[in-house]
Each structure stands twice: as structure tokens, then as C-alpha cells.
Amino acid sequence: VYTDTDSLILLIRTENVYKDMAEMHEHFDFSDYKLEHPIYKALNKENIILNKKVSGKFKDE
């Protein structure tokens, strides 16, 4: 684990991190992902834009 004033870095051990993130999509802002990203196969566009720019949501950058 590493933290800074506005960031957090974690080591995650899993078979498929994006599958796990999709299952917890209510906690993430995926709005900047490209349309080709695998998360778009797991979620519909409404779920992806639902948390766009919402304060307190995790962002994968």
C-alpha cells in the first residue's frame, strides 16, 4: 500500500481485477474508459456513466 495526498496504490491479487471491479461498480467511476475496454462488456453504458465525476468514487487511472 502506498498513499499520497490524493492517491492510493494497492497490490491486488485476483484472477481478473476488472471482473471484480464490475461486480462492485457502484463504488467506481469508469467514465473515462475507452469503449473497447473489457468493463464495457461487463456493464451497460448507464452503469458506467452513473458515477461520472461523483465525489468519493474510486477512479482507475
Residue 14's closest CA among 6, 4, 24?
24
Alpha carbon distance 35, 12 (integer Å): 24
What pTM value is reported for the model? 0.77
- Predicted confidence at residue 3, as pLDDT, reads 80
Q: Does 22 have pLDDT greater than 90?
A: yes
Alpha carbon distance 17, 51 (integer Å): 19
- Predicted confidence at residue 23, as pLDDT, reads 95
- Predicted confidence at residue 29, as pLDDT, reads 95
- Predicted confidence at residue 6, as pLDDT, reads 80
